[in-house]
Chain A
Amino acid sequence: MTSVAAHLPRRRPTVLGAAGALVRRHVLTVYSVLFFGYLMLPIAVVAAFSFNHPKGRFNFTWESFTWSNWTHWNAIPGIQSAVELSLEIAVIASVIATGLGTLMALALVRYGFRGRGTTNFIVFLPLSTPEIVLGASLLTLFLNFSFPLGFRTILIAHVMFCVSFAVVTVKARLVGFDRHLEEAAMDLGANEWATFTKVTLPLIAPAILAALLLCFAISVDDFVVTYFVAGNEVTFPIFVWGAARVATPPQINVIGIAFFVIAVTAMLGNVYLQNRRAKAA
């Protein structure tokens, strides 16, 4: 957390200037710490209230501590099937979206072709469309073809809004890719397919994994689009929405925090590996 600039000799280093810099530096640090506190506050509240034993149907005021929400996480009717549906859709949607997105990213970075700019724009467009418009337009499509709403329509929607994220993620990695490695493989007699599977794919694997995780997280979390196209299916966010009007069982917090802990642990592992690799390099 040391600043490079601070160690460089600067002209006219006055006492006042140095003191000012010191103050400013700490102001920024203190501010940042407060900012992270603000960012974490709702998460802390969710975590704390997952151990609450609410008196009424709503989990808004602290009553007493209990483990039972965690041990009986699926005691609320419908909550387990909602979680399972969300996970199932997230797994399938993230695999399909990452597959499609990786191919598109390869085309966009590796080849100059007519319509590249347009393609870039089409990929970008869903990212700059409010979710409610995505959901509403998909709903009108399905309605006009009398396509029954349910599992399939949720899956279609999730793949649709995940693809762009996958493209962006994989593209970022491909741009910094050293093509000499592929040329070397080809020079050594590997054909295009062997080069792709033995050289390209392993090198972009981290980006593909990142895209998978990102798509998974976005899919699991999605409420708005899903709500429009779900029909009678209930994903976890839809369950929370429905529950929020009549009651908020602490089990909702349990699942929210459980997912948070799993996701953050995975990301921490990733950061740790990156740092170690950076040190080794």
Chain B
Amino acid sequence: MGLSFFHRNRWATPYLLLAPGLLWLAVFFLVPLGFLVYQSLQSGSIVTGFGYAFTWAWGNYWSAIKGYRGEFERSFEYAGLATLIALVVSYPVAYWIAFRGGRWKNLLLLFIVAPFFVTYLIRTLAWQTILADHGLVVRLLTDIHLIPVGGRVLATGTAVVAGITYNFLPFMALPLYVSLEQIDQSLVEAAEDLYASKWVAFLRVTFPLSLPGVVAGTLLTFIPAAGDFINATLLGSPTTHMIGNVINSKFNGTIDYPAAAAMSVILMAIIMAMVLGYARAVGTEKLTG
């Protein structure tokens, strides 16, 4: 019976298939974003006992920007740095797997995603151990005089950026690999046949063709990195706190919901602007795979 319905109303089939999933995303993703904005324009305080009231309190936004400008800037600075480092560090490996991986490709990709199978927090705690004051890295860096005797790595911005870079590296390496893997090798060979050196062939042919992977990887790394607060908490100090730390402590600590909501909206807005800019440049179809 249901089938004859599908038969008669073929146009409706895609909508019926989409309905449950879209409904879930609408109710638990889109609508909450609306509530986040709603909450961000409320005023009042739980401490006074009156709770919050919606008052178009745009002031929340100004005080968020004014009071936490450093944290905002640090978020984008750290995320940007980590993204850049991740790109530079993982591009050669993605290249190596794509062009030299042979039948080991799948295995090597498994190694790339392997860190994901150790809980995020545990991975970051491991970096705490590695970068600890009397740990291996500090001793090594002291020996080659990169840091002074008694210097630290842990609780610095360097440690936070290092942690973020490590934690989101697979998000960079995988899209890079995918776009490199799709490159038709005969194009590179053609360039070399036309007397391009290997290096020139790479710069003029391979790299431009891998740009979709570069952009995808950059977004996939930068977005979670900008909102992260785990690395700044476990590897940094209060002077390296990012906006995620503030949002988290205001939501889950001091219970200042409107301010925290305003900061979340600002963070989301900046990131959305970036994503939409990219969607416009390459089309949503490409973006969503």
Please name the residue on chain A nearest to B163 by beta carbon.
A42
Total interface residues in chain A, CB < 8 Å: 107
Across chains A and B, the number of contacting residue pairs, with CB separation under 8 Å, is 278
Please name the residue on chain B nearest to A59 by beta carbon.
B129
Question: B91-125: which residues lie under 8 A (CB-CB) from chain A?
Answer: 92-93, 95-97, 99-104, 106-108, 110-112, 114-123, 125
**Cα distance, A275 to B108, chains bound together (Å):** 13
Contact B189 A8 (CB under 8 A): yes
Known: A100-B20, A133-B36. Is A46-B118 also a contact (CB below 8 A)? yes
Please name the residue on chain A nearest to B113 by beta carbon.
A267
Please name the residue on chain A nearest to B219 by beta carbon.
A128
Contact of B49 with A by CB under 8 A: no
Contact of A2 with B by CB under 8 A: yes
Question: B232-277: which residues lie under 8 A (CB-CB) from chain A?
Answer: 234, 244, 247-248, 251-252, 257, 260-261, 264, 267-268, 271, 275
Give the dominant DSSP class at B's interface.
helix
Question: B198-232: which residues lie under 8 A (CB-CB) from chain A?
Answer: 198, 219-220, 223-224, 226-230
**Interface mask (A241-274 → B, CB under 8 Å = 1, otherwise 0):** 1001000100011001101100110011001001
Contact A100 B24 (CB under 8 A): yes
Contact B289 A171 (CB under 8 A): yes
**Cα distance, A80 to B226, chains bound together (Å):** 33
Shortest beta-carbon distance from B288 to chain A in Å: 4
Contact A122 B121 (CB under 8 A): no
Shortest beta-carbon distance from B76 to chain A in Å: 12
Contact B6 A141 (CB under 8 A): no
Contact B288 A42 (CB under 8 A): no
Contact A144 B39 (CB under 8 A): yes
Contact of B147 with A by CB under 8 A: no
- Apart from A43-B118, A267-B110, what 5 extra A-B contacts exist at CB < 8 Å? A60-B132, A100-B21, A135-B251, A159-B28, A240-B122
